[in-house]
Structure 1
Amino acid sequence: MKRIALLSDTHTYLDEKLFKHLEGCDEIWHAGDIGNIETADRLAAVAPLTAVYGNADGQDVRLVYPLHQRFKCEDVDVWLTHIGGYPKRYDKTIREEIKRNPPALFISGHSHILKVMFDKELNLLHMNPGAAGLQGFHKVQTLLQFTIDGKQIKDLEVHEFGTKGL
């Protein structure tokens, strides 16, 4: 059983309030636009970090983290990417592959819109944790926490930990 903290779009900013939501997590997953390698290193110092680079990330991040991560957590096939879209509106760069070989859990960032939805057609769960940083149009900083136990994805929690401008 693993407890996961999922975030995206930090854009170099890690609010100190974010760290209380990382306590007790076995792993941290970041869906891109980390900002710089120092930001990734701060997260990795808390728990093992699995991450991808986003469109706003520079070479320092791109040299360490790939565009896509496809991996198993417990018995769940996970695909983590930055620009991926969501059910019925998958990004054209991954559309054919996700239809041909869907994961059980598909995670993307980029939109700064927190969204969790089930794709009945592909039988997968899609998650976007919103944005944990300050850059972008979102008003509230968010992240997701959940547990993977065997094949089960459960105990999903949404955490709001900061309001931009306050």
Structure 2
Amino acid sequence: MRVGLISDTHGLLRPQALDFLRGSDHIIHAGDVTGPEILAPLEAIAPLTVVRGNNDRGPWARAIPETAILRLGAVAIYVIHDLKELPIDPAGEGMRVVVSGHSHKPARQERGGVLYVNPGSAGRRRFTLPISVGELLVEGDRVEVRLVTLEVD
């Protein structure tokens, strides 16, 4: 199963990000969507799990949860925008993966049997950070991560 990862679009859904996400079986948006118009194109590709980021405000954002749990067979994925606000012990709760955003820095790290993944920012460039997305490849209880820097003008 291929799970597309995107975060911190900040109201800008780049065609390069959509191209990368096509073919996903599921998509996770880790917050800072900043506009409801971003969600429909993602939902048109695959089922979508989205969490609210610190910049997601207004009536449209109230229905978006701050955290989410996605279970794909043997793999449990916890989604939160800001990893510093993680309210659980992921390993203790049986999570295999934690997906977050907020920092705009793509990152992958495994600690205590939990894979922490941040796809970075797919929206407006911040400082010199790359424009990036990612994917989880889930097979049984195995998870592989790929982070991709998008070529943008």
Q: Which stretch has the larger CA shift, 30-39 or 60-69?
A: 60-69
Q: Which stretch has the larger CA shift, 136-145 or 75-84?
A: 136-145
| Residue among 88, 98, 117 paired with 2:109 | 117
For 1:52 and 1:14, locate their aligned partners in 2 and report how far apart those are by CA, in whole Å: 16
For 2:140 and 2:34, locate their aligned partners in 1 and report how far apart those are by CA, in whole Å: 32
Is the 2:91–2:113 Cα contact (8 Å) retained in structure 1?
no
Is the 1:53–1:62 Cα contact (8 Å) retained in structure 2?
yes
Deviation at 1:48, TM superposition (A): 1.1
Identity in percent: 27
Matched, 1:131 2:121: yes
Structure 1 unaligned spans of 5+: 85-90
Q: Are residues 59 and 113 of structure 1, via their aligned partners in 2, closer, same or farther at CA, if it must alter by over 3 Å?
A: same
1:84-123 matched pairs, under 5 angstroms: 84=83, 91=84, 93-94=85-86, 97-98=89-90, 100-101=92-93, 103-119=95-111, 122-123=112-113
For 1:104 and 1:146, locate their aligned partners in 2 and report how far apart those are by CA, in whole Å: 12
Deviation at 1:118, TM superposition (A): 0.5
Determine the structure 2 residue equivalent to 1:73: 72
Is the 1:34–1:61 Cα contact (8 Å) retained in structure 2?
no
Determine the structure 2 residue equivalent to 1:87: none
Q: TM-score when scaled to structure 1? A: 0.83
For 2:3 and 2:123, locate their aligned partners in 1 and report how far apart those are by CA, in whole Å: 19
Counterpart AA for 2:18: F
1:30-45 matched pairs, under 5 angstroms: 30-45=29-44
For 2:59 and 2:128, locate their aligned partners in 1 and report how far apart those are by CA, in whole Å: 26
Q: How many aligned residue pairs are there?
A: 153
For 1:47 and 1:74, locate their aligned partners in 2 and report how far apart those are by CA, in whole Å: 17
Deviation at 1:95, TM superposition (A): 5.3
- Cα-Cα RMSD: 1.8
Runs (4 or more) in structure 1 with deviation over 6 Å come to none
Alpha-carbon deviations, 1:61-120, whole Å to 9, x = none?
423320000231121111000011xxxxxx2x425544643511011100001000000x
Determine the structure 2 residue equivalent to 1:11: 10
Q: TM-score when scaled to structure 2? A: 0.90
Counterpart AA for 1:113: K
